[in-house]
Amino acid sequence: MRRSGNCYDNALMESFWATLKTELVEEQPFASHAAARCHILLYIEGFYNLRRRHSALGYLSPVEFARRHLSTLSAPKAVGA
């Protein structure tokens, strides 16, 4: 851990929490704690990790990024290149 007060320590998580709040939590009130947990899990596993476009991945979804990456790995390599 770095010294306290370093703004870059939590930058990734702060960005995620801001996105979660903006895209899910502020849109709807939840009936219970269990309902909130269920909706948040579905958001993270069903949308955020699979379909949402991420700037760090060239504005591709993680699934599309992985598909393109795997296709470049399996492409035949030119001989003598």
The per-residue pLDDT for range 31-58, each reduced to its tens digit, is 999 999 999 999 888 888 778 887 888 8
Residue 22: closest CA among 52, 1, 2, 45: 52
Higher pLDDT residue, 1 or 16?
Answer: 16
Residues 6+ apart with CB under 8 A from 14: none
Residue 60's SS3 state is strand
Does 71 have pLDDT greater than 60? Answer: yes
3 domain-assigned:
no
54-70 pLDDT per residue, tens: 788 888 888 888 889 88
pTM: 0.58
**Could you tell me the residue range of the domain that residue 50 belongs to?**
11-74
Q: How many domains does the chain have?
A: 1
